[in-house]
Amino acid sequence: MLRVKKYTNKIFSSNSYLFWKNGEKNCLLVDCGDTKQLLSDIQQLDLYPVAVLLSHAHFDHIYGLNELLNVFALVRIYTTDFGYDALLSQKLNLSKYHQTPFELSNSSSVNIIEKNCNFMNVCDIDIEIMHVPGHNPSCLAYRIDNYLFSGDAFIPGVPVVTNVPKANKILALENYEILKKFSDGHILCPGHGEIKGL
Ligand SMILES: [Zn+2]
């Protein structure tokens, strides 16, 4: 059984998620913002973070990555090729326009998920990958067991944000509808707001 913990981050109230298989030590994250509570929980639960699956590379979803890597240097970060570029560019991850400039300190921590890759297994956890660009070219959704992590590509009741650089409104609306339909019967963990369906 999958255990999931949600963290609401200070910047833009984005969500990060910590999850692991009941009884297992290895854990994964979806996105990474504030790390204080996260790192304390990881220690308390005696977990070991292996990977961060990025929903997309906007700075409010990634700004804790360097702090995480400072403690767990072997963590792998999964994103698209655009996400990789954005992790290394304040301009592309939009942190340049806010008070919290962010660039990933170690580019060799990144695993690029290619466009034709729809599945991976990390630490014995099956992960179905959906490429859902629009809000941002790096948008990925992940289905794990009956959980769907939708990032900012689908937040129920909230129109997908497309008034940001590199957004594509047509793709955003298309993928919003796909995820909306797909989320039926799943526990939905969006990039902002509450978990639905628990
Ligand atoms: Zn975003």
Residue 86: pLDDT band by 50, 70, 90 thresholds? very high
Residue 134 forms beta bridges with which residues? none
126 Cα to the center of ligand 1, angstroms = 25
Read off the pLDDT of residues 15-51 as tens digits, 9 standing for 90 and up. 999 999 999 999 999 999 999 999 999 999 999 999 9
Look at residue 195 and tell me if it is in a domain: no
Yes or no: say if 108 and 69 are a contact pair by the CB < 8 Å rule: no
Look at residue 96 and tell me if it is in a domain: yes
Look at residue 37 and tell me if it is in a domain: yes
For residues 148 and 153, what is the distance between their CA atoms, to the nearest angstrom? 12
Angle at 59 between CA 25 and CA 7, to 5 degrees: 40
Residue 118: pLDDT band by 50, 70, 90 thresholds? very high
Look at residue 196 and tell me if it is in a domain: no
Asked if residue 168 has pLDDT above 90, the reply is yes
pLDDT at 100: 84
Domain count within the chain? 1
For residues 127 and 157, what is the distance between their CA atoms, to the nearest angstrom? 26
pTM of the shown model: 0.97
pLDDT at 143: 98
46 Cα to the center of ligand 1, angstroms = 31
21 Cα to the center of ligand 1, angstroms = 27
112 Cα to the center of ligand 1, angstroms = 19
- Reading the block at residue 15, the tokens are 């969500």
Which structural domain range is residue 165 located in?
2-190
> Span 123-146, mean pLDDT?
97
Asked if residue 73 has pLDDT above 90, the reply is yes
Look at residue 106 and tell me if it is in a domain: yes
Residue 184: pLDDT band by 50, 70, 90 thresholds? very high
93 Cα to the center of ligand 1, angstroms = 9
Look at residue 197 and tell me if it is in a domain: no
> Span 115-119, mean pLDDT?
97
We report the CATH number of the domain holding residue 50 as: 3.60.15.10
85 Cα to the center of ligand 1, angstroms = 15
> Span 120-128, mean pLDDT?
95
pLDDT at 139: 98
Percent of the chain scored above 70 by pLDDT? 100
